[in-house]
Amino acid sequence: MATAAASPRTGTEPVLSVRNLAIDYQTRKGDIPAVRDVTFDLRRGETLAIVGESGCGKSTVAFALIGFLGKNGRISGGSVEFLGQDLTGLEEEQLRRIRGNNISMVYQDPTSALNPSLRVGVQLAEILTEHNEECGEKEAYEQCVAMLEHVHMPDPKKMMERYPHQLSGGQRQRVIIAGGLLNRPALLIMDEPTTALDVTIEATVLDLVQEIKEKFNTAVLFITHDLGVVARVADRVAVMYAGEVVEEAPIKELFANPLHPYTRGLLACIPRAGAFKRDTVLQSILGVVPPPNALPTGCAFEPRCPYSEERSRDEHPEFRPLNGSHSVRCHFAEEIAAGTKSLDERKVHIPAAAVAEPGETILEATDLKTYYAQKGRGLFGLGEKSVVKACDDVDFSLRAGQTLGLVGESGSGKSTVAKTILGLEPVTGGHIEFMGLDLKGTVDDRASKTLKLLQMVFQSPDATLNPTMKVGSAIARTVAKLTDTPHKSVRGRVIELLDSVKLGERYYDRLPRQLSGGEKQRVAIARALAGNPNLIVADEPTSALDVSVQAAVLNLLLEIQSENNTAFILITHDLNVVLYLADWIAVMYLGHIVDYGPREAFLKPPHHPYTEALLSAIPLPDPSVEPKKVRLEGTIPSAIDPPKGCVFNTRCPRYIGEICHTDPKIHRLENGQMIACHHDIEYLASIDPVIDFDEVQEPRLLVP
């Protein structure tokens, strides 16, 4: 029988006590076990994070707690006690009252959780009036305004009058959190609440989670796949795999001394903050999470575990306590921790740390401008027209075999720069030179030779793969379009490309729906390689992937770059990935590059104040290191009417005064760094580092 790990708050009764929870889904082929033998406690003022790859059962556990398993889902075993009451046998009406008054949930996508046709105030007030008949409209309004103030919503009375589409992503998430807190719940469930947010907004939301826990003494169940986020908000962590909890421990103990091979594997997949591709190799976990209807007989992780042996295949491990508050589901946890357990080398894949050497400059942008004309707001679009300056006076260069990281919040102009280079948007002004060619006009105006040398990998492979076309046919079409490959040789070339992304011929006849997220992204990369490009633009290529798949994709990109001396432009909001993969970094804000230089220049001051805020917001995968807190107020101004002078002056934490409303100084340093800021470079260099990257601990690797 499973035993819950002891909590550090042993003096209080659990708000939530889950024992041996089992959840099945009824199908035509029989019952499918989605969750098995899950046990944990959660107390007031405590945050328990549940982590694991997609398909591990994290969200299923959360939905079971509030009775949202759907028509074919059911709790088939165990108990769920909330405030001393077992929820598993309650009727829907009883559950509804508990959900409304004592349990709240914050969903991953706030847009889908808010009614677009109702004002924010109406939706928030309904939460109170629906569950409390004695609460009148005036009282509900006042409580809603007060709660919006609690979550630091600017001008809450005005926000009450707005519709969801008039709010930013961070503001919508604050509305959802405020709604969840209105009835002062004992338990707040948060399901991937920061996944779609910019890193700066994510940081403020995570600060808010900590503040809520302390101010309202709420128990928080936080579900995520991001171990950096876990390190920032959690008190304890439960790691799930294939429907089971395989490890549970206090946050610092888990990161410092992971005992289960799966936990070690997850930590080994993450680029350590400040780590670089020349010095560190990411260890990806081979294989995928088994489906619930095809679980191994013994240990569920056995097919992917390099420490497994015959006992792992035959005997299912118990969830057992080790070291007091640390529990694990592994036969060999003590031996692995001591470093005495032998390895099965067939299940170990550590890629060679091959990094391309920089070649000649292949891309150079000078005073690049991309403007969009906006129609007038009068009848039929008449009236004064305006211009959106999405990209303004941008300069950078890129050499063969190197990666340029473009970072910044949504609306900063990153994707516009990429689209302009690719010809998806016309150049308004300035100059782009690529391989000696002047990149003017759009895709339709460019020669096929240029097109095949310049390719893109998009964020969502689902949006770029035809669901009715087989993988081989999709890549073959690109090969035929971009190369002179004879028709009879196309299939062979496609198989070569599939081999290059570690898929192989067996994937040729599969449809996109038969592939995992990581496999679809590999197909997208294979298609981009069809014309042997010199430059690949990758727009958030790993943001939708589990950390294990992300590591495999990043290793693949490095391998491709090393073998072909390919240059990459990497667009992402994940600064851990940028600092790991990029050779040069450009920080963009409101269409301008405000900080630009070699990757090592971003590890210590001087920084642009905006770069300082971005670095402060990095969710470090190390709970023992606390970054200096630099938070930005407000949102990015409109590119139609940007601030005069320094475009960052409306949000700058180091704002000086009127001088900031004039064009900033351009500081050019000996190492190639450029900083656009009115402050003297000596002052910027004297500021304490946001993060001491030397203090960030190395992860306990899956394979030492």
Q: Is 176 left (phi over 0), alpha (psi -120 to 50) or beta?
A: alpha
Q: Higher-confidence residue: 284 or 650?
A: 650
Convert the pLDDT of each residue in 57-84 to its tens digit: 999 999 999 888 888 999 999 999 999 8
> Hey, CA dihedral for 89, 32, 316, 328, is it positive or negative?
negative
Convert the pLDDT of each residue in 378-414 to its tens digit: 555 555 677 888 899 999 999 999 999 999 988 889 9
Please say if the pLDDT value at position 10 is more than 60: no
Q: Please tell me whether residues 331 and 437 are part of one structural domain.
A: no
**What is residue 6's predicted lDDT score, i.e. its pLDDT?**
41
Q: Please tell me whether residues 546 and 625 are part of one structural domain.
A: no
Q: Please tell me whether residues 376 and 314 are part of one structural domain.
A: no
- What is the average pLDDT value for the chain, to the nearest integer? 88
Q: Please tell me whether residues 680 and 655 are part of one structural domain.
A: yes
In-domain check, residue 648: yes
Model confidence band, residue 351 (pLDDT cutoffs 50, 70, 90): low
Model confidence band, residue 670 (pLDDT cutoffs 50, 70, 90): very high
Q: Residue 606: what are its φ and ψ, rounded to 5°?
A: -85, 145
Which tokens is 265 given?
């594997």
Which tokens is 78 given?
């165990």
Domain boundary pick from 181, 200, 235: 181
Please say if the pLDDT value at position 224 is more than 70: yes
Average pLDDT over every residue of 605-613: 97
Residue matched to tokens 């503001």: 171
**What is residue 9's predicted lDDT score, i.e. its pLDDT?**
42
In-domain check, residue 192: no
Across 294-298, 323-327, 342-346, 382-386, least confident range? 382-386
In-domain check, residue 682: yes
Convert the pLDDT of each residue in 273-282 to its tens digit: 888 888 888 8
Judge contact between 422 and 600, C-beta under 8 A: no
Average pLDDT over every residue of 540-552: 82
Model confidence band, residue 253 (pLDDT cutoffs 50, 70, 90): very high
Average pLDDT over every residue of 421-450: 89
47-51/236-241 β-pairing: parallel
Convert the pLDDT of each residue in 469-525 to its tens digit: 999 999 999 999 888 899 999 999 999 999 888 788 999 999 998 887 778 888 989
**What is residue 380's predicted lDDT score, i.e. its pLDDT?**
53
User: How far apart are alpha carbons 588 and 266 in whole angstroms?
Assistant: 31
Average pLDDT over every residue of 293-319: 93
In-domain check, residue 153: yes
User: How far apart are alpha carbons 207 and 427 in whole angstroms?
Assistant: 40
User: How far apart are alpha carbons 66 and 51 in whole angstroms?
Assistant: 19
Judge contact between 108 and 195, C-beta under 8 A: yes
> Hey, CA dihedral for 85, 91, 94, 97, is it positive or negative?
positive
In-domain check, residue 261: yes
429-434/361-374 β-pairing: antiparallel
Q: Please tell me whether residues 520 and 422 are part of one structural domain.
A: yes
Please say if the pLDDT value at position 1 is more than 50: no
In-domain check, residue 28: no
DSSP alpha helix (H) spans, 567-658: 575-581, 609-616
Q: Please tell me whether residues 310 and 368 are part of one structural domain.
A: no
Q: Is the peptide bond before 606 cis (omega within 30 degrees of 0)?
A: yes
Across 79-83, 373-377, 622-626, least confident range? 373-377
Average pLDDT over every residue of 134-157: 88
Model confidence band, residue 3 (pLDDT cutoffs 50, 70, 90): very low
Three-class secondary structure of residue 351 per DSSP: coil
Helix axes 547-564, 517-528, angle to 10 degrees: 20
Which tokens is 384 given?
């004064």
E strand or H helix at 29: none
Q: Please tell me whether residues 604 and 630 are part of one structural domain.
A: yes
Please say if the pLDDT value at position 549 is more than 90: no
Convert the pLDDT of each residue in 167-213 to its tens digit: 877 788 889 989 988 888 899 999 888 876 788 888 888 898 888 88
Q: Please tell me whether residues 368 and 342 are part of one structural domain.
A: no
> DSSP letters along 190-219, please?
EESTTTTS-HHHHHHHHHHHHHHHHHH--E
Model confidence band, residue 598 (pLDDT cutoffs 50, 70, 90): very high
Query: Domain tally for the chain?
Result: 4
Q: Please tell me whether residues 343 and 366 are part of one structural domain.
A: no
User: How far apart are alpha carbons 485 and 475 in whole angstroms?
Assistant: 13
| Percentage above 70 pLDDT, the chain | 94
User: How far apart are alpha carbons 570 and 572 in whole angstroms?
Assistant: 6
Q: What b/e readout covers 301-319, taking b as 16+ CB neighbours within 10 angstroms?
A: bbebbbbbeeebeeebbeb
Q: Which residues span the domain enclosing 329?
A: 257-347
Domain boundary pick from 296, 312, 347: 347
Domain boundary pick from 584, 617, 644: 584
Q: Please tell me whether residues 513 and 396 are part of one structural domain.
A: yes
- Under 8 Å CB-to-CB from 527, ≥6 apart: which residues? 474, 475, 478, 497
Please say if the pLDDT value at position 417 is more than 60: yes
CATH number for the domain spanning 578: value is 3.40.50.300
In-domain check, residue 618: yes
> DSSP letters along 243-298, please?
TEEEEEEEHHHHHHS--SHHHHHHHHHSPPTT--TTT----PPPS-PPPGGG--SS
Indicate the burial class of 617 (C-beta count within 10 angstroms; 0-12, 13-18, 19 or more): buried
Max avg pLDDT among 130-134, 182-186, 606-610: 606-610
**What is residue 703's predicted lDDT score, i.e. its pLDDT?**
61
Angle of CA points 295, 296, 298, to nearest 5°: 130
Model confidence band, residue 599 (pLDDT cutoffs 50, 70, 90): very high
Residue matched to tokens 């899950």: 38
Q: Please tell me whether residues 267 and 410 are part of one structural domain.
A: no
Max avg pLDDT among 8-12, 287-291, 646-650, 698-702: 646-650
In-domain check, residue 93: no
Which tokens is 521 given?
């992204």
DSSP alpha helix (H) spans, 512-660: 517-528, 547-564, 575-581, 609-616
Judge contact between 545 and 521, C-beta under 8 A: yes
For residue 544, the Cα-to-chain-centroid distance in whole angstroms is 7
Q: Please tell me whether residues 341 and 371 are part of one structural domain.
A: no
Three-class secondary structure of residue 489 per DSSP: helix
Convert the pLDDT of each residue in 553-584 to its tens digit: 888 888 889 888 999 999 988 888 999 999 99
**What is residue 118's predicted lDDT score, i.e. its pLDDT?**
94
